[in-house]
């Protein structure tokens, strides 16, 4: 991967840290602005599901396996529909496995990085 000397490499740990920082910031903001409400059971279930998907995605990446669209969406912090839209427009690299699509995280991150660098 071509990285600049002062630029950190994009890794799963960086993505996980970014997600955790975002969640913590949101919780602090909720506490500071006075809303500080407890999350609903639906929200707690969604968070548990997101963390479960994130853990399975990490295991897949560590094992060198390909990711599902749902796992990739959680890791990139986007909607699953966004992933499928990018596949349809061929904006991210993917592998067709029968009727399913799978993704290599490193390839996707590199293509996104190139796309962001090309955009003026």
Q: Does residue 1 sit within a domain?
A: no
Q: Is the CB of residue 104 less than 8 Å from the CB of residue 90?
A: no
Q: Does residue 52 sit within a domain?
A: yes
Quote the pLDDT of residue 38: 47
Q: Does residue 44 sit within a domain?
A: yes
Q: Does residue 4 sit within a domain?
A: no
Give the pair of three-digit tokens for residue 70. Answer: 């749902």
Give mean pLDDT, residues 36-62: 67
Full-model pTM? 0.57
Helices (H), 1-120: 12-32, 41-63, 69-76, 80-88, 105-118
Q: Does residue 39 sit within a domain?
A: yes
Number of domains in the chain: 1
Q: Does residue 54 sit within a domain?
A: yes
Q: Does residue 3 sit within a domain?
A: no
Half-sphere exposure of 104 (CA within 13 A, CB side): 8
Domain that holds residue 108: 12-118
Distance of CA 8 to the CA centre of its chain: 17
Q: Does residue 108 sit within a domain?
A: yes
| pLDDT tens-digit map of 75-115 | 888 889 999 999 999 999 999 989 999 999 889 988 888 88
d(CA 104, CA 64) in angstroms, rounded, equals: 8
């Amino acid at each position: 991967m071509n990285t600049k000397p002062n630029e950190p490499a994009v890794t799963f740990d960086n993505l996980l840290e970014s997600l955790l920082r975002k969640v913590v910031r949101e919780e602090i903001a909720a506490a500071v602005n006075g809303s500080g409400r407890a999350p609903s059971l639906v929200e707690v279930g969604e968070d548990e599901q997101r963390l479960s998907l994130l853990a399975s995605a990490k295991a897949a990446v560590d094992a060198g396996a390909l990711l599902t669209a749902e796992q990739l969406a959680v890791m990139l912090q986007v909607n699953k529909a966004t992933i499928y839209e990018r596949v349809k427009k061929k904006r991210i690299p993917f592998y067709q496995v029968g009727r399913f699509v799978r993704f290599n995280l490193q390839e996707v991150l590199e293509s996104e990085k190139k796309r962001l660098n090309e955009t003026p």
